[in-house]
Structure formats: structure tokens, C-alpha cells
Structure 1
């Protein structure tokens, strides 16, 4: 069985009269990627701040790497690495100097700096001021600095926000490599595709409460909406097909018919056989299943603050 890297029970946090976290329960397996999704203001960053000992909880219990964050904060900090929403790098220093600073603070040697520069493809820019780095390079340097000391659990708070698609996918590759090496990743993100691509498990946080948890596929299966989309060559064929398949929804502009179903081969074969009985042939068809955007909309009632890219 997978052991817990992070165990949270009844976590509560409030600012004055405003409750930000209202009884959160989480269990993050060691060696996995856990993603916390939620719109802006849902409490994602507050959760990270509490779990990383940067903020005290008002209630509940939290154990990180087997240590209680309230009574063993020093041991927790020794086991974790944190990359925040904004790259925590010194722009006046070079990339190499930023890394050396972390090595001096946490322990290590020049070999650590060299290895991290090579791993994150920063060797050529190592002696340049960070002020000259692109956004993607800064995020890579920030993550490299986080890895000094070989933390067992890494918190990534929206690590790819503002990055171009290529830089984002580079970060995804690095995250997967870290997990393959045994690290545990706690990821918050505003990109639904990112959670879908990376996470072993996802929790959806809305207004301080967890509204769902599960694997990406488990969450998708909770939402109805799987259907087959048939595309026809003429309006006459669309008319005939719509009369035959009475539970369908037509789109006259696109000459398509949307037919509810489970997406399985048996139901698809039955649908095509039915068309064949009436000598109707679709030019094309595709099976559509709910994605995380559909899940998020169904659970929270909005998607505008979480990006589905």
C-alpha cells in the first residue's frame, strides 16, 4: 500500500469573520502527484502556506512526511521544498549565484550547483544576471533552487502560470521526472489540462470546502454528457437521421447530430447499424466524453477563473 506523504484532517483557517478553509481532509500518497484545483480565492495558496508551516492553522491536524506541522515544524521544513506562485529568485545575482546561495544555506557543494544547472538546461545562462532570464528560465531556476537538499515532498503553487505552452510542457516533464525518482508533488494549478496531464489524484476546492476528490477519470465519470457526434454530407441526410434517432440534438449549421450514449463499442455499433437500416451514411463520427472543464463547471458553477488550455 502507498504510505501517506501528507495527511490532513479537519483543517480550518479563517481571517477574522471570513472562513478560508472549512474542514479540509486530504491524503496524499508518497511518490504521487496530487493536484489541488480551484478558482481564484478558493483557498489553494492558504492550504499550501499551512502545509508548509508558513501559516498556522486554526483547527485540524496535519502531518507532512510523518511530522506534525504544529509541533515538529523544523522536521517538516527539512523534508519539503516549496515553489511559490512567483519565482523567488534574486534578479541581481546570476543563476549560478542564486543556486550557490541555496547550497550555502542548506548544505552541499559545487557539484550540486553544476548538476542542477545541467538538469534544467541553464548552463549557458548560468553566469548571466537573472534579470535577463525569460519567464520560463526563471521558473526553472526557482524549481532548481527548491531541489537543493533533495526534498522528499515538493509543493508547487501554480508553477506554470504565465508561461508559454512550450515552457509549460518542459516543466511537466521535469515534474514527471521528479516523481519517477521518488518525490511527492503537491501541485496547485489554474490550468485544467495541467491537472489532467499530471495528477494521480485531484481535489476540487471551492469557497474553502472540498467538493470532490478522485482520479481524473473518476471525476469525469461523475459528470453525464458522453455522446456521439455524427456529421452528415447534406441537410436531407441530417433530417432523416434526426427523425430516426429521436433522442438526438441537431446542429443545422454544422450538419451534425449529437446522440447521448456511454461511448462504448456496443452502443456505437448499434447506432451505426440503425443508420444502415435506413441506408444513411454519416461522413464522420466522433465520441465525446466530459473533460475536467465540465467537471469543474458542474461542481463549482463556474469556469472563468480556471483556464482550460
Structure 2
């Protein structure tokens, strides 16, 4: 899997150089290597995904970029400046949404954003723009405690945007959302990217990363296991296609007898056929059982991710991520 850094595939705004440059960054806690020599460049205007299992080092790496932790070694540049020691000049240029965002729950959504805006010296107009950007204008006068989970997540993103930052860190913004709320937030995030924001994004939803991110970095045990566009990662992964056939339509014995089928398995009420050449196999399935209810599944970013995680030989750190 490629770990090159092809910034040409992103959508930079071509001003003032990259948004983030990490060079051989390390952070250890005793014998635990939370971040172990990671080098990454994030272009301006890029939607950059940071993926990895719990304990992989994602949170530590993000906190180093945000200036909340000091790297043991290596260099860190954020918007052309060193975030550590804490650089107050960077604060107005960076927005942060955490997994456990704090709210003024007794205020309305509009009042909450006006309060956050005031902390940055921004006025009511900035709060209204942020409210509009996450599609919460119609709920602006609803108390935060009465908003749904998805609406609160959008409000958390709005709070990270209210001071018009150049760079936004979003830490699992769709966690615990229902499918419709997730898709609503996806569009908000696409709108942010379309507005030229640079976004560093963590998620455990691999379909989400594949749909939204220009590039993704997969971190395993503190190390960079892969870095590329989702499409390139998938193309470099397994060429296998899986055909999912309702179990009542085809027997395991008949499936194994189809030319070109490499493996056959029964998964619940579905027979799964793996093949490198789906066309002829589909033709045989059609002749034997018809194609009604038959589904095909090609490799995805999730397959690539699980393969990388499964091939990891070092134990993950104990850092909560």
C-alpha cells in the first residue's frame, strides 16, 4: 500500500503553502510509542481523513497539530507556524470540534453561537452565518438541550466555524448519529469543502471517509500504514468481487461448480461467491438461478482498512483515540 504524499490529488487553494506539515513526528509515553515517526503534508483546501483503530495514536497526533501536546521530536507546521509552544496567533485561524463538545445547554442554538462568537471577537452576523452553514436557521431559537443528537452535532460544527477559521479539526462528528442525520451532516461537510476550508477529519465510518475525503491516512500502532486517495487505495487492494446470492436460489455444491469461482461461503441466508472475473460467473448464476436478488460487492476502503489492521504486527498503544 502506498504511503506517498501526492498533494496534487487534493484541492489546494494555492496560497501560503501547505496547511499542515508533519516531519518525522514522535510522541512516546514511557515505552508506549503513541506516534512513531509520522510524516504527512496536508494541502490547503484538502479534506483529509485520519483513520485508525482505537489506541492507534490519532488523538495524540491531532492534539500535537492543535498545539495541545508537544511532540518529543520531529517538526510540526500549522498554517506556516509552530503550534507549540501554544501559539495564540493560531487560535483565530483554527476551529476544533471534539467528540465531547461542550454546550451552553440552557441557551438557544443562536444564543450559544453568539456567545462562542463573542469569545473570538466576532459579532452576531458571524453567528448567523455559522447557523446557516450547518442548516440550523429554523432551529436557531430552540434550546440546545431540546435539539436532537444530529442537530447538536451540527451545532458543534457551527461553533468550530463561527470565527471563520482557515483550518478545521473535526473529531468523529457523525458518531452515534442515525443514518439520515449522518447524511445530512455529510452535505454540511461537503459545503465546507466547497467553500475552500481545510478539514482534518477522524471517523470510524469507512464509507464516510471514502465518500468525503480527498486523501486518507491510516494509522496503526502509531505508524503511518497507508496514505493515498481512497480510490487509489481501493484500486491497489483486492481485485476480488463477491457475489451475494439468496441461499434458497442456489446450493453450495452448485456454486462451487461454477467456473471462475474461487471461494464459496454461507453467510446467514446468503451464499457468497468470490471471483476475479464476475461477468462469466454472473452469467452462470443467471442460467442456474436467475439474477433476482443477486448483489455484487467489490472492494471498498473498509476492506483495505481491515486488511491493514489485520496485517499489523505490533500491538496498538493504550492511548484512547
Q: Which band: TM-score by shorter chain?
A: 0.7 to 0.9
Structure 2 gaps of 5+ residues are 1-7, 312-321
1:198 is matched with 212
CA spacing shift, 1:113–1:272, aligned 2, 3 Å: closer
2:186 maps to which residue?
172
Higher mean C-alpha deviation, range 126-135 or range 197-206: 126-135
Partner of 1:291: 300
Deviations 1:44-64 (A, max 9, x none): 111111101111111111111
CA contact (8 A) 2:133 2:188 kept: no
Q: Which residue of 1 aligns with 2:318?
A: none
Match of 1:63 in 2: 77
TM-score, reference length from structure 2: 0.80
The verdict on how the C-alpha distance between 1:131 and 1:287 changes in structure 2, with shifts beyond 3 A counting, is closer
Q: In the aligned structure 2, how far is the partner of 1:94 from the partner of 1:280?
A: 62
- The question of whether the paired residues in 2 share the 8 Å contact of 1:202 and 1:214 is answered with yes
| 1:135-169 C-alpha deviation (Å, 9 max, x unpaired) | 11211111111112211111001111111111111
TM-score (norm 1): 0.83
Is residue 231–residue 283 contact of structure 1 (8 Å, CA) maintained in 2? no
Contact 1:202 1:215 in 2 (8 A): yes
Match of 2:30 among 5, 12, 16: 16
- Shifted more, 104-113 versus 284-293: the winner is 284-293
**1:83-162 to 2 correspondences below 5 Å:** 83-162=97-176
Specify whether residues 30 and 202 from structure 1 end up closer, same or farther in structure 2 by C-alpha distance, changes over 3 A only. Answer: same
Q: Check the 8 A contact 1:53/1:77 in 2, yes or no.
A: no
1:242–1:257 CA contact under 8 A, matched in 2: no
Tell me the distance in 2 between the aligned counterparts of 1:231 and 1:84: 42
Aligned residues: 293
Q: Is the 8 A contact 1:32 1:184 kept in 2?
A: yes
- Partner Cα distance (2:32, 2:217) in 1: 22
Q: Could you say what secondary structure the match of 2:103 adopts?
A: coil
How many angstroms does 1:287 deviate by? Answer: 4.2
Larger Rg: 1
8 Å contact kept, 1:32–1:179: yes
Higher relative contact order (CA 8 A, sep 6+): 2
Q: Structure 1 residue 124: deviation in Å?
A: 4.1
Structure 1 position 280, deviation (Å) = 4.7
Superposed, 1:178-257 pairs within 5 Å as 178-227=192-241, 229=243, 242-243=256-257, 245=259, 248-250=262-264
Distance 1:79 1:229, change over 3 A: same
Q: Is the 8 A contact 2:258 2:281 kept in 1?
A: no
Structure-2 separation of matches of 1:203 and 1:150: 26
SS in 1 for 2:88: helix
Do residues 258 (structure 1) and 273 (structure 2) align? yes
Deviations 1:55-94 (A, max 9, x none): 1111111111122223682333232111011122222332
SS at match of 1:301: helix
